[in-house]
Amino acid sequence: MISLYKNLFYQSLRIRMVEEKIIEIYPSDKIQSPVHLSIGQEAVAVGICNNLLKTDLLYSSYRSHAYYLAKGANLNKMFAELYGKVTGCGKGKAGSMHLAEKSVGFMGSSAVVASTISHAVGSALASKRLNKNQVCVATFGDGASEEGSYHESLNFASVFKLPVLFVCENNGLAIHSTIDQRHSYKIHEHAKSYNLKSTYIEEGYDFMKINSLISETINEIKLTGLPQVVEIKTYRYKEHVGIGDDHHVPYRSSKDFDNWKSVDPLIQDKTLINEFSEKINAEIEAAVNFAEQSEFPADSELFTDIY
Amino acid sequence: MSSEIIQVLKEDGTVSPLFKKETDLTEQDLKKIYETMILTRVYEERSLKLQRSGRIGFYIGCKGQEASHIGSAYALKMDDWVFPAYREPGVLFLRGIALKTMICQMMGNAGDPTMGRQMPCHYSYKEGNNGSVSSPLATQIPHAVGIAYAAKYMKHKIVSLTYFGEGSTSEGDFHTGLNFAAVFKSPVVFICQNNQWAISVPVARQTVSESIAIKAKAYGMPGIKVDGNDVLAMYQVTKDAVERARNGDGPTLIESFTYRLGSHSSSDDAARYRPEGELESWEQKDPIIRFEKYLLSENILTPESIKKIKDDAEEEFTQAVKEAEKVGLPPLETLFTGVYKDMPESLREQMEDLINEQKRLGASEDNSMAFPL
């Protein structure tokens, strides 16, 4: 049996290589929607999703590729969606920022900051009422914690004792604003003002550590039915939106970037990279071919899937 | 910081010796505060009667919360700003509004500065730096933060103060407002009047925090819980917070722990959801009775002067209603004015057409005071 480390590594590497492929394709304009890349943040998605059943429901932000893949959704359908093809997970109508795959419990992602947090809470209320032993997970960035919807959601989940896991992937940046320009609080400490249990992980590159904390947290939530908050410090390698690097723009230092790269297993563990690359590449090539060969949606699709 | 509740004036009407020694409130101040509390109580009781007899359409009151808002507002200077919820009529009295204007507002006639465009009790008093009352909850919080941010930016030494209920702490605007004010050290004072009920939702269903005041800790600002039925504590705590803000030390969250002795509004019956005995126990803590005991024991007021203050308030209200009822309806053109600073030509044409139509057909019968409304 493949070890846990290898399994999580494989999943993380697969996400990174998918996004690197997106970077390669993007200048061709075949992918027409904006892309918010998760490169540097893959361990968070993998560490969370490894502990979720298909029946557990996940809601993410627009930086959604990693979650879509980690939750087990189909890669062909993802590339097709990015290409705007009818075989995509949203029939080519959703694009990169609104990936969803109900069959694996990836319920949605949205361009509107913090909007899916309240969806996770509402869905947890429904699961509680319907007596489903289900955890609902909301993942969001540090910027989302400034939104009113975040506050309302945490308060509501706490008052109504709902089985929600709130995960903040704190990459320290809301587009270009640093956290000290925006927060009077630390996210995991602020969560205590709702009487919520909260934990903090500094090593957002360490999928093993994230996996083990999330495993414990999910078990507690299933046992107690009470919500919890997890804050994970992570690092966005690429610019906020798009495929470029932006360390030359003076809002963040390349020194921090170098520090993260020096501990990033997806860069450092060359043995496993070599072991897995070929297989992953083949899968990606097949997915890109699938997307290329698929059709665009017919005009009649403009009117379907609304009501 | 959070569970401790600050009290100066005990329920038996005695005060701590320290307060007596250090307070800057003169006898004149104390009388002014008391008179305003009485006027506010009379205003409430009489307005509810006006509503029940169909002379105004709606009333929303503050019985039991007079100390909470009048004590705190007394700590402000006149060029400071207030952004109210809807249970703070006493602040308007303190800031000099005419009683007749308040009643005209509730009647929605031409004596109402907003010309009947707002619901009764949704006062707007720009001259007194008092933001307009609004029905949506918590919207006043970002307004207060915004004006405080602007004041700091423009180097004006003013403070803004906002009132909201504990129900509003569940709104997103509470979170964004407090965070923004704390990050930018805006000179603002947040006063949460925790009156235990958001219409029929008790505070235990609103939050699981051990208090409202403790929420301040999350934003790195001081949070103070005060006996909201203690007018002297409300004044003192607010004064300290206003000074902090004015000195550039940022915002403060004050939880005024109080109780709504009346129903949510004239459209509500609190007896349907209040537990038995709760109202009676809070009536024992009536802020006016407590303050009266103190003023009598200090010989600042006598039973006779108290009676005169109450009689005068009743008489003032009677006269103001008489005068307000003489004021006619807002003119027809107010349907069109107050939207654009310079009215667009197309709208002006419509206004003139309507006025000509009125001239041609004659005015309709004025049944604004007919019962029921």
ipTM: 0.88
Contact A144, A110 (CB under 8 A): no
**pLDDT at residue B372 greater than cutoff 70:** no
**Six-digit token pair at A161?**
């004792």
Q: Which chain A residue has the Cα nearest residue B207? A: A159
B339 exposed, middle or buried (CB, 10 Å; 0-12, 13-18, 19+)? exposed
Q: Is the peptide bond before A163 cis (omega within 30 degrees of 0)?
A: no
**pLDDT at residue A230 greater than cutoff 80:** yes
Q: Looking at B95, B246, B273, B274, which residue is catalytic?
A: B273
The DSSP secondary-structure symbol of A306 reads -
Report the residue from A152, A181, A195 with minimal CB separation from B172.
Answer: A152
Half-sphere exposure of B258 (CA within 13 A, CB side): 34
B3 — pLDDT class (breaks 50, 70, 90) = low
Mean pLDDT along residues B44-66: 96
Instruction: Tell which of B164, B170, B175 to mutate to test the A interface (max A CBs under 10 Å).
Output: B175
Contact B106, B86 (CB under 8 A): no
Mean pLDDT along residues B296-307: 97
Q: Are A148 and B205 an interchain contact pair (Cβ–Cβ within 8 Å)?
A: no
* pLDDT score for B229: 98
A1 — pLDDT class (breaks 50, 70, 90) = low
Chosen CATH of B5-326 out of 3.40.50.970, 3.30.420.40, 3.30.70.890, 3.40.50.300: 3.40.50.970
Q: Are B219 and A151 an interchain contact pair (Cβ–Cβ within 8 Å)?
A: no
CA distance B174 to B13: 35
Domain ranges (residues) in chain B: 5-326, 331-373
Of the two residues B4 and A264, the one the predictor is more confident about is A264
B367 — pLDDT class (breaks 50, 70, 90) = low
* Ordered strands of the B81-83 beta sheet: B5-6, B223-227, B252-257, B188-194, B160-165, B81-83
Q: CB contact, 8 Å: B218 with chain A? A: yes
A249 — pLDDT class (breaks 50, 70, 90) = confident
* pLDDT score for A31: 96
Domain ranges (residues) in chain A: 4-172+180-291
Helices and strands, counts by H and E, chain A: 11, 8
Q: Is B264 a catalytic residue?
A: yes
Mean pLDDT along residues A209-215: 98
A181 neighbourhood in chain B, CB within 8 Å: 183
* pLDDT score for A112: 95
- What does each C-alpha distance from B147 to B153, B157, B187, B343 come to in angstroms? 10, 12, 9, 27
Q: What is the DSSP string of B207-260?
A: --SS-STTHHHHTTS-EEEEETT-HHHHHHHHHHHHHHHHTT---EEEEEE---
Mean pLDDT along residues A178-203: 96
Q: CB contact, 8 Å: A184 with chain B? A: yes
B185 Rama class: left (phi>0) / alpha (psi -120 to 50) / beta:
left
B176 neighbourhood in chain A, CB within 8 Å: 146-148, 151
Whether CATH 3.30.70.100 fits A4-172+180-291 = no
For B173, the enclosing helix (H) or strand (E) is helix B172-183
B2 — pLDDT class (breaks 50, 70, 90) = very low
* pLDDT score for A298: 96
* pLDDT score for B370: 61
Q: CB contact, 8 Å: A192 with chain B? A: yes
B363 — pLDDT class (breaks 50, 70, 90) = confident
Contact B148, B136 (CB under 8 A): no
B42 — pLDDT class (breaks 50, 70, 90) = very high
**pLDDT at residue B137 greater than cutoff 80:** yes
B18 — pLDDT class (breaks 50, 70, 90) = confident
Contact B196, B205 (CB under 8 A): no
Q: Are A190 and B219 an interchain contact pair (Cβ–Cβ within 8 Å)?
A: yes
Mean pLDDT along residues A99-113: 96
Judged by DSSP in three states, A111 sits in coil
Q: CB contact, 8 Å: B332 with chain A? A: no
Mean pLDDT along residues B326-347: 94
Neighbours of B109 (CB within 10 A): 20
Q: Is B156 a catalytic residue?
A: no
Report the residue from A158, A184, A195 with minimal CB separation from B179.
Answer: A184
Average pLDDT, chain B: 95
Q: Looking at B46, B55, B264, B290, which residue is catalytic?
A: B264
Neighbours of A136 (CB within 10 A): 30
Q: Is B260 a catalytic residue?
A: yes
For B200, the enclosing helix (H) or strand (E) is none
Q: What is the DSSP string of A19-69?
A: HHHHHHHGGGT-S-S-----TT-HHHHHHHHTT--TTSEEEEES--HHHHH
Looking at the complex, report in whole angstroms how far the Cα of residue B259 sits from the nearest Cα belonging to chain A. Answer: 22
**pLDDT at residue A274 greater than cutoff 80:** yes
Looking at the complex, report in whole angstroms how far the Cα of residue B338 sits from the nearest Cα belonging to chain A. Answer: 31
CA distance B315 to A169: 64
CA distance A110 to A98: 5
A257 — pLDDT class (breaks 50, 70, 90) = very high
**pLDDT at residue B366 greater than cutoff 80:** no
Average pLDDT, chain A: 96
Percent of chain B exceeding pLDDT 90 equals 92
Contacts of B96 (CB under 8 A, 6+ apart): B127, B128
- Mean pLDDT is lowest, of A7-16, A248-257, A265-274, for A248-257
Contact A245, A238 (CB under 8 A): yes
Q: Give the closest residue to B106 by CA, choosing from B167, B60, B158.
A: B60
**B209-224 confidence digits (pLDDT tens):** 999 999 999 999 999 9
**pLDDT at residue B369 greater than cutoff 70:** no
B201 neighbourhood in chain A, CB within 8 Å: none
Report the residue from B174, B183, B214 with minimal CB separation from A183.
Answer: B183
Mean pLDDT along residues A249-253: 87
A155 neighbourhood in chain B, CB within 8 Å: 170, 207
**pLDDT at residue B1 greater than cutoff 50:** no
**B192-250 confidence digits (pLDDT tens):** 999 999 999 999 999 999 999 999 999 999 999 999 999 999 999 999 999 999 999 99
**pLDDT at residue A193 greater than cutoff 80:** yes
The DSSP secondary-structure symbol of A145 reads G
